[in-house]
Amino acid sequence: MMDSDQTALVGRSFDNLWDSLLPIGRDQRTGGYRRFAWSAPDREARDWFHHAAATRGLPVEVDRNGNLWAWWGDPRPDSVVTGSHLDSVPDGGPFDGPLGVVSAFCAIDLLRAQDTGGPSEGRAHRSVAVVCFADEEGARFGVACMGSRLLTGVLDPHQARRLTDADGISLADALRASGRDPDQLGRDDEALSRIGAYVELHIEQGRALADLDSAVAIGEGIWPHGRWRFDFTGRADHAGTTRLADRHDPTLAYARTILAARKHAERLGALATFGKVVVEPNGTNAIPSSVRAWLDARAPDEATVEKLISALTTASGAAVDRESWSPEVEFDPSLRARLADVVAAVTQPASSSPRAAPPPHRPTVPILATGAGHDAGILAPIAPTGMLFVRNPTGVSHSPHEHADRADCLAGVAALAAVLEDLVGGHGNG
């Protein structure tokens, strides 16, 4: 439980971090964020991370894949890791990713103010790292969670180096332009060995918590999801002289495929979105020669995603290629139970100590599954992993209108701090 001085300190710390990060990569016209991996705004956000760590006296390590780790206590095996990402989707909101990083620094500020015996005081069993994963959104090179996939070895570094952005710039060249050596990419056993547990705080990306009247929830798992590229080929021709019967217009097949995606998603209880399309040559008075479109598909189970893709591959007549895949994830059940207990004690304090035995009337913390992808999902097979979600009153995300109330963000910080305090104590699992 925070006293009034600590509440004020956390509020100040949150506001300072938030206000300094907010202008970075925000598009003036849309108000959305365009922090694409290894772009100038992304580098600026990474500099912000270095600065936030330095002002707290937390040394930063950069792993082989460009993920940033700020250490409270010595980097060592079995540490407790928390954080998220700072990159964004095109015109993303301010909270998706940054809330987890900002909250992680604030949680450390709070634990230090509470003087409960953190790693640098030498009384805790485990160190804490704040991580900022590189390229979580995959907005530039098409593969989601690139930094954590490379770290864990589930993405082949040769394949990663050859990925290109919309301008044909390869990841290898983008890394070089940011002063990084692309030959370093790959599974990083030293960094992995230090992860004893990972807890990622994230804005909720739906609106379950508004109805449940709770500021914070615990993550249950992540739906399987992926990205598929559909290539429709046609024949370029004149818009004013080519008879309708003579056209080979690929936009028609694309349009039919969008409608089929909706129909099959409804039939199967899945989600299907064509959110990105490139039409060539993209002239008003020219019948297109090709349409390249990307499908994002998700469902509660993998068999349903497979059925959806198979139906759409057949219906579209397009060449279909999978570019990114994230299998179904269930977060560690015993860590989840532990987080629920600790968070319940903080959000509904029923006694003077969060570690005290829960009274029988203590309300439970909501446990939510999500269709959104996270680096936590990639780390789940490596170490006990969990997530905290902070209420999003409208549920809108991947949009400039994404929002969380400041009071809920601070409740999230308090919850995360209690979780870190519990986990660094070193008793039990996780």
Look-up of token digits 């330095």: 54
- What is each CA distance from 180 to 139, 148, 151, 185, in whole angstroms? 19, 17, 15, 10
Comparison of 38 and 133: residue with beta carbon closer to Mn ion: 133
**397: CB partners within 8 A, 6+ apart:** 93, 95, 96, 203, 204, 205, 206, 372
Residue 83 interacting entry, from Mn ion, ligand GLV, none, C-beta within 5 to 8 Å by type: none
Are the CB atoms for 261 and 298 separated by under 8 Å?
no
58: contact with ligand GLV by CB under 6 A: no
Are the CB atoms for 31 and 400 separated by under 8 Å?
yes
CB of 71 to Mn ion, least distance (A): 23
137-176 footprint of ligand GLV as x/- string (CB under 6 A): x------x--------------------------------
CB of 377 to ligand GLV, least distance (A): 9
CA angle 309, 314, 315 (to 5 degrees): 95
CB of 420 to ligand GLV, least distance (A): 24
- Choice from 151, 372, 388, 420 touching ligand GLV (CB under 6 A): 372
- Choice from 41, 66, 97, 430 touching Mn ion (CB under 5 A): 97
25: contact with Mn ion by CB under 5 A: no
- Choice from 373, 384, 386, 430 touching ligand GLV (CB under 6 A): 373
* Count of chain residues binding ligand GLV (CB under 6 A): 4
Comparison of 144 and 270: residue with beta carbon closer to ligand GLV: 144
Tokens describing residue 11: 């509020």
Residue 144 interacting entry, from Mn ion, ligand GLV, none, C-beta within 5 to 8 Å by type: ligand GLV
Are the CB atoms for 346 and 414 separated by under 8 Å?
yes
Comparison of 136 and 341: residue with beta carbon closer to Mn ion: 136
- Choice from 96, 332, 402, 422 touching Mn ion (CB under 5 A): 96
Residue 97 interacting entry, from ligand GLV, Mn ion, none, C-beta within 5 to 8 Å by type: Mn ion
Are the CB atoms for 69 and 130 separated by under 8 Å?
yes
Residue 373 interacting entry, from Mn ion, ligand GLV, none, C-beta within 5 to 8 Å by type: ligand GLV
Q: Which of residues 127-146 bind Mn ion (CB under 5 A)?
A: none
Q: Which of residues 267-306 bind Mn ion (CB under 5 A)?
A: none
CB of 144 to ligand GLV, least distance (A): 6
Length of the chain: 430
Residue nearest to ligand GLV (CB): 373
> Would you tell me which residues interact with Mn ion (CB under 5 A)?
96-97
Contacting positions for ligand GLV (CB under 6 A) = 137, 144, 372-373
